[in-house]
Structure 1
């Protein structure tokens, strides 16, 4: 569930938009007739003109307020549907959460998209002349949406990190698109030996790859993500392929033994000793290369794991600094 909130100057413009069909911009554009349905009236009632007049009468109780209009939009994810009584309950909860439940407001249900969404137009000026604060309004709406997701068992959406508590910021966050990209990069790295093969593999998997000072990937939905956002910056990808090339160089081919021929006993014995020394040298080289291959594979496996995003590292560092600061303060007591 996604919520948006804004303030404005004109009740007329906002209420007219919410209660009427969209205006046709071009002849090719289809306009849905009857897209708006009023779900709730609070401290107001009547036609569009009458409602606008009632809102304007109350706003005059605080003539110094430049933006008396409060406009909230609530959108459910595609495929989610709630009955009208639940939508009304959601609107009432919104009014209580943002503290305009005693003021004039009207809730409208729009039907012109593939997902349910509501508009709430409220008067920030109350009958007691008090004004609904617009401070931290985005944070309030984000918290309200998370509550509604739990209450009505809706799909959870991530709140902006700056609106989370310090404890919540420590919890790793997952983005489905980033998780998919991360897994696809890992698969492509394992299946290829060099960068050109890797880029071709990612293209086959549906990504457009852009390589410059860094690397970015654009999926089939035109969503662009940097490699560094999913733990695979360009430097790391290039290092993986450098190690793979080093690994290939260490492959030792077994020397072919000369075909046995009838030799005199002395020459046959000398040939035997020479081949034995050669085999011992090959065995030592193969053992050294085997150990080196293990080290390279270990390095590659480590690099295959995505780096932790910077935004997840910062809270941990901040917590460590706070603990160090408290420890130092305790020493001076």
Structure 2
């Protein structure tokens, strides 16, 4: 189980994304995006209603402490492949409640949303950092606290154990960095490798990755955000913008070379065929004169 927490400014933006997915160019594409996500709210705390009603309620309570610029808590919890289907909705809601208690927003507004659009089963918890008393839930040491809670939940629900980051472990528990594999990075690298083999330019690579659920930011460099809202610079996985452009160029050159080789082989095969036909004609002509 992997947990990630971010704070944000907009309840509307966060809840719109969780319910409707990434903004698409047409209504039909947006409908398909929503169908793909299959968003389902499985738990409410101190709030209730449809998306618009939830947004309104969250915003109203956040005004109790207008000095807080980022009132949105967004936690994402992803299960390991081996744990797919192990937890029911009540158990997922209970895990969310444990996280809410750890981060001290268990008396605040929050909703728990599940998605069925990725290979990794996961859930989202959107909470209001501002309580009805106007007090603000803190987010200090968030990564460590999420990791510790995930380890407890793995034991409680007999889920596959995931290593905590080295810096949160005792020295004797630490694993050499070279022995640790970030599966999210590996999946991203696999997608990029396939994209480069199938695409002709960076824009096609961008579309390829977006079709697989990544948000792609391209400027002087390139970066990818996966469906668990984990952000990677391309250079972190060995695919900087320059590297992608170079690999695309190499791939196109290789394809052109293969094409030329195939054409040459076809040309030679045709020449051999024509030579065989000429030999057969010479043989028949020779036989007729004997």
Shorter chain as denominator, the TM-score bin is 0.5 to 0.7
Confirm or deny: 8 A CA contact 2:22 2:33 kept in the other structure: yes
Q: Name the structure 1 match of 2:260.
A: none
SS in 2 for 1:79: helix
- Counterparts of 1:57 and 1:99, CA distance in 2: 20
Q: Give the alignment of 1:24-63 within 5 angstroms.
A: 24=24, 31=33, 33=35, 35-63=38-66
Q: Name the structure 2 match of 1:162.
A: 167
Choose 32-41 or 6-15, whichever is displaced more: 32-41
Q: TM-score, normalised by structure 2?
A: 0.56
- Counterparts of 2:29 and 2:62, CA distance in 1: 40
Give the direction of change, closer, same or farther, for the CA distance of 1:85–1:178 in structure 2 (3 Å limit).
Answer: closer
- Counterparts of 1:149 and 1:175, CA distance in 2: 23
- How far does the alpha carbon of each residue in 1:240-289 deviate from its partner, in whole angstroms, 9 at most, with x for none? xxxxxxxxxxxxxxxxxxxxxxxxxxxxxxxxxxxxxxxxxxxxxxxxxx
Residue 172 of structure 1: how far off its partner (Å): 4.6
Higher Cα Rg, which structure: 1
| Count of matched residue pairs | 179
Residue 153 of structure 1: how far off its partner (Å): 1.2
* Residue 77 of structure 2, aligned match among 70, 74, 82: 74
- Counterparts of 1:78 and 1:28, CA distance in 2: 28
User: Quick check: 1:125 aligned with 2:130?
Assistant: yes
Gap runs ≥5 in structure 2:
182-236, 239-290
SS in 2 for 1:31: helix
- Counterparts of 1:98 and 1:126, CA distance in 2: 12
Confirm or deny: 8 A CA contact 1:32 1:112 kept in the other structure: no
* Residue 95 of structure 1, aligned match among 97, 100, 107: 100
SS in 1 for 2:47: coil
- Counterparts of 1:31 and 1:67, CA distance in 2: 27
Give the direction of change, closer, same or farther, for the CA distance of 1:171–1:14 in structure 2 (3 Å limit).
Answer: same
- Counterparts of 2:173 and 2:51, CA distance in 1: 47
Bigger relative contact order (CA 8 A; separation at least 6): 2
- Counterparts of 1:45 and 1:110, CA distance in 2: 19
* Residue 114 of structure 2, aligned match among 103, 109, 114: 109
Confirm or deny: 8 A CA contact 1:58 1:125 kept in the other structure: yes
User: Quick check: 1:8 aligned with 2:8?
Assistant: yes
Give the direction of change, closer, same or farther, for the CA distance of 1:157–1:178 in structure 2 (3 Å limit).
Answer: closer
- Counterparts of 2:23 and 2:41, CA distance in 1: 19
Q: Name the Cα RMSD after superposition.
A: 2.7
Residue 41 of structure 1: how far off its partner (Å): 0.7
User: Where in structure 1 do 4 or more consecutive aligned residues deviate above 3 Å?
Assistant: 21-32, 174-179
